[in-house]
Chains A and B, each alone.
Chain A
Amino acid sequence: MFKCLRNYTMFLVLMVVSGSALSVVELREFSSDQQRDRYQVLVNELRCPKCQNQNLADSNSPIAADLRQEIFRMLEEGKSDQEIVDFLVARYGEFVMYRPPVKKTTLLLWLAPGLLLVGGVIIMLTIRRRQSPERKTNPILKAEELDRLDELLGENSLGETGDSSSISKKGSKDK
């Protein structure tokens, strides 16, 4: 008896929940899975003219619902993706495309990421070159001074290595 009641309650809850889901997401019968995928891509890439920071898929505005319906209708009529996008652009302007076409006015938009990357790499390489050890010592001493320094260091280090090796030899003999 209780089990039956529980099932019945569950049934009621599900009825209510599925009802609310229906009102937000439209149910559409696509003729194929491929059609459904194309529809999803289109409503995600096209922008709602009313709520400009949302795409057609996200927007609840009546115009977005109309446009989704229109896209669905055109898809089922066998129109190509390009035809559907052109249809909307003719009415609402290029503004409705979240993926703008490559042309003169949008060239900067398309090239900017690449340009920024190349610029960043150039700046990074320049900074790294400046910080490399050989360049670090140079600004203080001129070329001749560096040569002289090498000379002095060379004499010194030769003598030192000679001494230390003899010492270590001695040490090893003592052992």
Chain B
Amino acid sequence: MARIKLFVPLIIFIVLAVFLLNGLERDPNAMPSALIDQPIPEFLLPVLGDENRQVDQQLFQGQPALLNVWATWCISCRVEHPFLNSLAQQGIRIVGLNYKDDVVEANKWLSDKGDPYALSIVDSTGRMGLDLGVFGAPETYVVDSSGTIRYKHVGVVDDRVWQQHLLPIWQQIK
């Protein structure tokens, strides 16, 4: 009995070490989205470049899409933009959410850098962003053809993120 007691500190150490090692591997900023497997929230917002036209959640019915939250004030969006262009060239439907941005600036950005979006929704107040649980740009949602959010990626989508996380889900829902 006394022998076993000697091992108690070692056991405690091993248990703690396993927990802490596990913690090292995890991204502290990764947050599960509360909206995974939930439908796109209701909205009624104008379209960038054609502000008299309004779209709602029906936009996501019928075909899968990526919903990309972007803004001209967002530095990482600048990094992400060329990759989105190449995705669009591959025929992937990307819907933009122009989040709390200046409409003139946003239009200029698209004419300068190319427009990968099927269309961009103008969310100047951030109201739709709030309903989506957006807490910064860029964020990218994978939405299936029934308008259900299947995945959310916070941060820049590049080739690695696309291959590892988004593409497998995209192939499932295509």
Verify if B62 is at the interface (C-beta below 8 Å from A): no
The bracket for how many chain B residues form the interface is 10 to 19
- Shortest Cβ distance from A87 into chain B, in angstroms? 9
Q: Determine which of A66, A70, A89, A93 lies in contact with B32 in the assembled complex, contact meaning CB atoms within 8 Å.
A: A93
Verify if B135 is at the interface (C-beta below 8 Å from A): yes
Cβ–Cβ contact A89 & B136, under 8 A: no
Chain A contributes a number of interface residues (CB within 8 A of B) equal to: 16
List the B residue with the shortest CB-CB distance to A51. Answer: B135
Q: Give the distance in Å from the alpha carbon of A159 to the alpha carbon of B35 in the complex.
A: 90
List the A residue with the shortest CB-CB distance to B135. Answer: A49
Cβ–Cβ contact A91 & B28, under 8 A: no
Q: In the complex where A90-B34, A92-B34, A95-B31 touch, is A66 in contact with B136 (Cβ < 8 A)? A: no
Q: Determine which of A52, A62, A70, A91 lies in contact with B133 in the assembled complex, contact meaning CB atoms within 8 Å.
A: A91
Q: Which of A61, A62, A92 has the most CB of B within 10 A?
A: A92
Q: Give the distance in Å from the alpha carbon of A91 to the alpha carbon of B35 in the complex.
A: 7
Cβ–Cβ contact B131 & A93, under 8 A: no
**Chain A interface helix/strand/loop/mixed:** helix
Q: Determine which of B126, B131, B136 lies in contact with A91 in the assembled complex, contact meaning CB atoms within 8 Å.
A: B131
For A92, list chain B residues within 8 Å (CB).
31, 34, 133, 135
Q: Which residues in chain A, 104-133, are within 8 Å of chain B measured between CB atoms?
A: none
Cβ–Cβ contact A93 & B34, under 8 A: yes
Closest CB pairs A-B (n = 9): A93-B34, A49-B135, A91-B133, A63-B135, A50-B135, A92-B133, A66-B126, A50-B136, A95-B31
- List chain B positions with a Cβ less than 8 A from chain A: 28-29, 31-35, 100, 126, 130-136
Show 22 A/B contacts (Cβ-Cβ < 8 Å), sorted by A: A49-B135, A50-B136, A52-B28, A52-B29, A52-B31, A61-B136, A62-B100, A63-B134, A63-B135, A63-B136, A90-B34, A91-B34, A91-B35, A91-B130, A91-B131, A91-B132, A91-B133, A92-B31, A92-B34, A92-B135, A93-B32, A93-B133
